[in-house]
Amino acid sequence: MASRSILPGALLAAALLAGSVAAQAETARLRIAQQFGVSYLPLIVANEKGLVEQHAKALGIAPPVIEWAKLSGAAAMNEALISGSLDFATAGITPMILTWDKTRATAKIIGVAPLGSMANILTSNNPAVKTLADFTEKDRIALPSVKVGFQPIVLQMAADQAFGKYDKLDELTVSMPHPDATAQILSGHSEITAHFTAPPFSQQQLASGKVHQVLSSYDVLGGPHTFNVVYSTSKFVAENPKTIEAFVRALDDANAWIKANPADAAALYIKAENSKLAPDFVEAIIRDKDVNFTTTPEGVQKFAEFEAKVGLIKQAPASWQDLFQSGLRDKPGS
C-alpha cells in the first residue's frame, strides 16, 4: 500500500522536473546575420574563436549550433528576422529604432547589443565645400538608403542644427552602396561630389588626398555614438536568456581581444572578409581614436528623440534602456 501512495507523488515530481527542464531549455540553434565592414569585426572574432559556445558552456547550457550568414541592408535583415528564418539581425542603430517602433504591436524588435561606436564621415571632392552651407544644387551626396538609413538620418540631424530645417539637403542625396560611391567620388568624373560613409571607406577616401572631410557624425551627436547593433525579437530574447547572456559576454571578450591585439585582429578581418586592404591600414582603423568596439549603447536616446521629432517614429522611448534587452541596463549607456 505504501508503494501505491508514493508512486503518484514520484510521478508528479518527475513531471514537474521535466516541465522545469523544458521551460529552461534554450535554443539548440542560433542563426546570426551580419553585413560587411570593419564595424562587424566583433562578430568575426566571436565566430573564429568560438566565444559564444565557450560562454554558453560556462553558463551551464548546451552550446548552440551557430549558423553565420551575410545579408546586405536592414530591409533584408528585418524580413528574415520577422519571418522566423533568423534569430539575430544586424544594422545601424537608426534603422533598428525605426523597426523597433514599427513592430511594437507585432514582432516587438529589441536590441541585443551594440557592436561599437564609430565616427561616420561626410567627405567631398569639391574644394568649395567646407561646410553644409557650401553645398549647391550642382552637388550630389551619396549614402545608403536615402532618408531612412543611418547616414541619411545623421545628415538630417546636421541640417536641422545648421539650418533649422532637417530635410534641406535631402534633394541632393542619392542612394548608393559605399563601395560604388567611393569609386565614383575618387574618380572625379561623376555627379557624386560628396559621400557620407563609414570605416574603412572614409579612411580610404581621405588617404587618397582627393577628398576632404566636411563633418563627422561625432560632431553632430556631440560625442561618440553607437553605429551598428545586433537585435532580435522580444520573444526570442525572453525564451533564451542564457543564450543572450552568452552572446553579450562573447562580444565583450571579442572587444577586449581586438583592443589588446589590433594587428592580429586586422589580419583576422582580412582573412575572414577576403579583403584586399593592407593589414597596416586595417590596423590603423582599429586603433583610431574614433573607433571603439563596445557593447555599451552611446548616444542612442538622441537618435530616437530626433526620429520622433521629425515623425519617423510615432513616439520616442522614455530611455535608451527601452530599446535594448534588460541585460544591458547596468551599462553606463546614453
Average model confidence (pLDDT) for the chain?
92
Q: 251 and 108, same structural domain?
A: yes
Residue 73 in grid coordinates: 541592408
Can you give the pLDDT at residue 255? 98
* Number of domain units in the chain: 2
Q: 141 and 195, same structural domain?
A: yes
Q: What is the CATH number of the domain that holds 51?
A: 3.40.190.10
Q: 270 and 208, same structural domain?
A: no
Percent of the chain at pLDDT > 90 equals 84
| Within-domain flag for 199 | yes
| Within-domain flag for 215 | yes
Q: 54 and 203, same structural domain?
A: no
CA nearest neighbour of 173 among 200, 193, 199? 193
CA nearest neighbour of 279 among 294, 292, 262? 262
E strand intervals along the chain: 29-34, 65-70, 89-92, 109-114, 117-118, 121-124, 141-143, 173-175, 194-197, 212-216, 228-233, 291-292
Q: 313 and 276, same structural domain?
A: yes
Last residue of a domain, one of 193, 221, 249: 221
| Within-domain flag for 58 | yes
Last residue of a domain, one of 191, 221, 251: 221
| Within-domain flag for 12 | no
| Within-domain flag for 286 | yes
| Within-domain flag for 316 | yes
Q: 275 and 181, same structural domain?
A: no
Q: 205 and 150, same structural domain?
A: yes
pTM: 0.89
| Within-domain flag for 11 | no
Q: 264 and 125, same structural domain?
A: no
Condensed to tens digits (0 to 9), the pLDDT of residues 149-179 reads 899 999 999 999 999 999 999 999 999 989 9
pLDDT tens, position by position, for the chain (334 residues)?
Answer: 333 344 455 454 444 444 444 445 899 999 999 988 899 999 999 999 999 999 999 999 999 999 999 887 777 888 889 999 999 999 999 999 999 999 999 999 999 999 999 999 999 999 999 999 999 999 999 998 888 889 999 999 999 999 999 999 999 999 998 999 999 999 998 999 999 999 999 999 999 999 999 999 999 999 999 999 999 999 999 999 999 999 999 999 999 999 999 999 999 999 998 999 999 999 999 999 999 999 999 999 999 999 999 999 999 999 999 999 999 999 999 9
CA distance 279 to 317: 41
Q: 176 and 204, same structural domain?
A: yes
- Enclosing domain of residue 149: 121-221
Condensed to tens digits (0 to 9), the pLDDT of residues 239-252 reads 999 999 999 999 99
Q: 107 and 167, same structural domain?
A: no
Estimate to the nearest angstrom the gap between the alpha carbon of 159 and the chain centroid: 24
b/e sequence 9-28, b meaning 16+ C-beta within 10 Å: eeeeeeeeeeeeeeeeebbe
| Within-domain flag for 239 | yes
Last residue of a domain, one of 169, 186, 221: 221
Q: 168 and 49, same structural domain?
A: no
